[in-house]
Each structure stands twice: as structure tokens, then as C-alpha cells.
Amino acid sequence: MRALFCLCTVLAVFGLAFWAYQENYATQQALKETRKLRSEITEAQVRLNVLTAEWAYLNRPDRLRELAELNFDRLGLLPLRPDQFGAVDQVAYPSFDELAIEDGVMVSALNGGGSE
């Protein structure tokens, strides 16, 4: 009986050692993937910063004004002036009478999403 107990104990220790080895391997793999993802995120952030800087550089008002003047014949773009902008109180909003629904469609759904 004692030999059976020792054999079961040894098998349990081997089983636990095998399980611990596999968990360690899986943990190391997860850490590698985490480092790789962090590296990719850092690279994406650097690319985003570069693209943001390029966008800001390309959208400089003096550059856009110059492009509008150079391409006036083809595009007909006019330079922006302060008097071209209006105030919020000058915006004509539609009245609620114009938003009345005519010839509406009745939509119904079953309660609970199932068939009865």
C-alpha cells in the first residue's frame, strides 16, 4: 500500500512539473507577444506623429493661399477672407413645420426578438 502511495505521489509530482513547465512556456510566449505589440504600438505612434506633423506642414495658411493663387485658372479657388464668414445667428434653421412627417411607415417589432 505504501508503494502505491509513493507511486501516486511521484506521478502527481511529475504531472505538476509538466503542468508548471507548460504554464511557464505559455507565459513566456505571452510576454513575447506583449513586447511585440508594444513595439508595434510605439512604431504606430511615431508614424502618427510624423503624419500629424506633415499634415500641419501641408495645411499652412500661406502655402494653401499660394496654391489657390497658382491654380486659380484651373480650379477657380478664391482666397479666404474674414468677411466671408458669418455669425451663428445668421444661420437659417428650418422651422418645425417643415419637418412634419407625411405618409409615415408603421414599423413594429416582436417583443423578445423571437417568434410567437
Global confidence as pTM: 0.49
Which whole-number Å values give the CA distances from 13 to 26, 29, 56, 95, 102, in the listed order? 20, 24, 64, 80, 78
Per-residue pLDDT of the chain (116 residues; tens, 9 = 90+): 889 889 999 999 999 999 999 999 999 999 999 999 999 999 999 999 999 999 999 999 889 888 888 888 888 877 777 787 788 888 887 776 666 677 777 777 665 554 44
